[in-house]
Amino acid sequence: MIKKQLPPGLHIDTLAVRAGIDASQYGENSEALYLTSGFLQPDAATAARRFAGAEEGFTYGRTSNPTVTAFENRLAALEGTEAAIGASSGMGAILMMGMGLLKAGDHVICSNSMFGSTINLFAKEFGKFGVETSFVSQTDAAQWKAALKPTTKLLFAETPTNPLTDVCDIQALADIAHNAGARLAVDNCFCSPALQRPAQMGADLIIHSGTKYLDGQGRVMAGAICGPSSLIVDVFGPVVRTAGMVLSPFNAWVVLKGMETLRIRMQAQSANALAVAQWLQEHPKVARVYYPGLASHPQHELAMRQQSGLGGAVLSFDVRGGDPEALRANAFRVIDSAQVISIATNLGDTKSIITHPGTTSHGRLSEAQRQAAGIGQGLIRLAVGLEHTDDIKADLSRGLEML
């Protein structure tokens, strides 16, 4: 094995390509993919010590794998946390967090504009096991404070939100959580550590869907939790070992290599998104654009402070129309006229992706619930990729000109 100790104080760009795990005895320069479910043990006594946790060493793929460890170490280095633990998907990571931290009778506070599956996981699945969740305004910290109970264990936020890009104040929510003896977890999917490092603003745990910008090329499902070793190793490790929402080595390897280009992709895609948002804002067929990088965004200053001065790569916009049916027809026309942009339900890809939240991600809500969430039938979400912005604008123009 070729040992190489990294010096302290390295920049995030360096960590993204260097942090991980030592090379094997073969000295590979690019990280190896260890596609194995079991690991050879030198003898029975060593196996016994490793299984008892008395000695370090790989045993079985549900417990750990060198490629998964490399992914975890690199992600923790980027987020600036002591440790990280991989999961099969972003939702697997949130499930792991809930199983590790919560028990029947505990209370959780979440933003009411969290990712739809997250809302369902807390309201429906954890609800079945006696965990109670209150849903409050994304942007009004006073509502989070007012929702606190003696049993509150966790505040869980996501910023910016999907699809309307509402931004919450991470430091303010961390203070509210800590004053009440609770923890703050932040889903950092949309910004990634290239733009936003919630641990520096007081968050205790950071959730990732590696499926999105960490992979960055729309290839595999992955997830992770970042945080202090006391929780990652001692609380979540046993959960993943027994419950099995483990990250596959192949997916870990894909995302590990994806992270090497994370910052330059996030910068380039944020710049593209800003250019498209500015253009849409001036378009006569567009009623409103939601993008944290625009001065017109209600939390623009907070977003710029929290997100390294960049808006991220996801924006939404309302097309003009009339009643909900006319708005939906107009939105569909814009989406269906795209010849370059993909119609798909992912985001975080180098390929731009367009969706109609009102009939997809938020299609199962009632019209009243959708209106309360601000998701009209004329709303379109665009996750901006790496194509030339002139081509993205031309692609959107095709449909917009028809309205």
Ligand X SMILES: *Cc1c(COP(=O)(O)O)cnc(C)c1O
CB of 118 to ligand X, least distance (A): 6
Residue 219 backbone dihedrals phi, psi, to 5 degrees: -105, -45
Taking residues 91 to 110 in sequence order and writing x for each that binds ligand X by CB under 6 A, - otherwise, the string is x-------------------
Is residue 399 close enough to count as binding ligand X by CB under 6 A?
Answer: no
Indicate the residue among 86 and 90 with the shorter CB distance to ligand X: 90
Comparing CB distances to ligand X, the nearer of 134 and 211 is: 211
Which residue in 221, 225, 266, 303 binds ligand X (CB under 6 A)? 221
Contacts with ligand X in 153-172 (CB under 6 A)?
A: 158, 162
**Among 56-64, 88-96, 330-338, 353-361, the segment contacting ligand X (CB under 6 A):** 88-96
Determine, following the binding rule CB under 6 A, whether residue 196 of this chain makes contact with ligand X: no
Residue of the chain from 152, 159, 211, 377 that contacts ligand X (CB under 6 A)? 211
**Applying CB under 6 A, does 72 fall inside the site for ligand X?**
no
Please tell me the count of residues contacting ligand X according to CB under 6 A. 14
Q: Of 48-56, 87-95, 170-178, 273-281, which part binds ligand X (CB under 6 A)?
A: 87-95
Please pick, from the candidates 115, 126, 156, 290, the single residue that binds ligand X as defined by CB under 6 A.
115
Choosing from 189, 224, 259, 354, the residue that interacts with ligand X (CB under 6 A) is 189
Q: State which residue, 69 or 162, has the beta carbon closest to ligand X.
A: 162
Name which position in 89, 133, 251, 299 contacts ligand X (CB under 6 A): 89
What string of H, E and C letters represents the secondary structure of the chain? CECCCCCCCCCHHHHHHHCCCCECCCCCCCCCCCCCCECCCCCHHHHHHHHCCCCCCCCECCCCCHHHHHHHHHHHHHHCCCEEEEECCHHHHHHHHHHHHCCCCCEEEEECCCCHHHHHHHHHHHHHCCCEEEEECCCCHHHHHHCCCCCEEEEEEECCCCCCCCCCCHHHHHHHHHHCCCEEEEECCCCHHHHCCHHHHCCCEEEEECCCCCCCCCCCCCEEEEECHHHHHHHHHHHHHHHCCCCCHHHHHHHHHHHHHHHHHHHHHHHHHHHHHHHHHCCCCEEEEECCCCCCCCCHHHHHHHCCCCCCCEEEEEECCCCHHHHHHHHHHHHHCCCCCEECCCCCCCCCEEECHHHCCCCCCCHHHHHHCCCCCCEEEEECCCCCHHHHHHHHHHHHCCC
Give me 109's structure tokens: 């506070």
Told to check if 16 binds ligand X by CB under 6 A, we report no
Interface residue with ligand X, options 72, 187, 260, 349 (CB under 6 A): 187
**Residue 381 binds to ligand X (criterion: CB under 6 A):** no
Residue 89 or 270: the one with the smaller Cβ distance to ligand X is 89
Site string (121-160) toward ligand X, x via CB under 6 A: -------------------------------------x--
Q: Which residues contact 296 (CB under 8 A, 6 or more apart)?
A: 281, 289
CB of 154 to ligand X, least distance (A): 16
248 scored as a contact of ligand X (CB under 6 A): no
Candidates 26-34, 89-97, 105-113, 272-280 — which segment interacts with ligand X by CB under 6 A?
Answer: 89-97
Neighbours of 368 (CB within 10 A): 8
State yes or no: residue 223 binds ligand X (CB under 6 A).
yes
**Residue 209 is a binding residue for ligand X (CB under 6 A):** yes
Least CB distance from residue 211 to ligand X, whole Å? 4
| By the rule CB under 6 A, 318 interacts with ligand X | no
Please give the angle made by the CA atoms of 184, 362 and 188, to the nearest 5 degrees: 30
d(CA 385, CA 228): 33
Binding site for ligand X (CB under 6 A): 89-91, 115, 118, 158, 162, 187, 189, 209, 211-212, 221, 223
